[in-house]
Amino acid sequence: MGKSESKIRKKAAYLREAGKLPCKRKPFSPEQDKFIKKNCRIMTIKEVARALKRPVSSIVNRARLLGISYFKCGDLYYKTKYPDSDVYLIRELRDSGLSFSEIAKKFEICPNSVQYLYHSRLTADYAIRREMLP
């Protein structure tokens, strides 16, 4: 035919904008955008994709475009072993002067786990704060 790929793509885009050629993929509706934003802390990307009957990759791309993160930590993360309330209590006890080994005895876990929970464990509040900051 003698036409370049970029020329064909531009022509297809022009025809789609004019309404003469249907879109390959259905665009997201405002309701779907609200659903993606509303459930970013509750559902996984796979669950949202299943609910909207869309591919996972399109949900990932749309969330990125909308500035939405599906990062989960603390009680929101499905593999959480120690609840956020325990983490807050451990931090309060440590700040009040108890040693890691004393706190570990109270919670019946090893001192290394207590140190990790005190220093490194992210809570659900962290994910919310992270979302609100620019």
The answer to whether residues 56 and 27 touch, using CB atoms and an 8 Å cutoff, is no
Within 19-77, where are the H helices? 30-38, 45-52, 56-66
What's the confidence (pLDDT) of residue 134? 62
- Domain spans, the chain: 5-66, 74-132
What's the confidence (pLDDT) of residue 53? 93
What's the confidence (pLDDT) of residue 72? 81
What's the confidence (pLDDT) of residue 3? 82
Other Cβ atoms within 10 Å of 90 Cβ, number: 25
**Can you tell me the distance from the alpha carbon of 105 to that of 30, in angstroms, rounded to the nearest whole number?**
52
For domain 74-132, the CATH architecture is Orthogonal Bundle (1.10)
pLDDT in tens, 28-75: 999 999 999 999 888 999 999 999 999 999 999 999 999 888 888 888
Token pair, residue 80, equals 């959480």
- Percent of the chain past pLDDT 70, that is, above it, reads 99
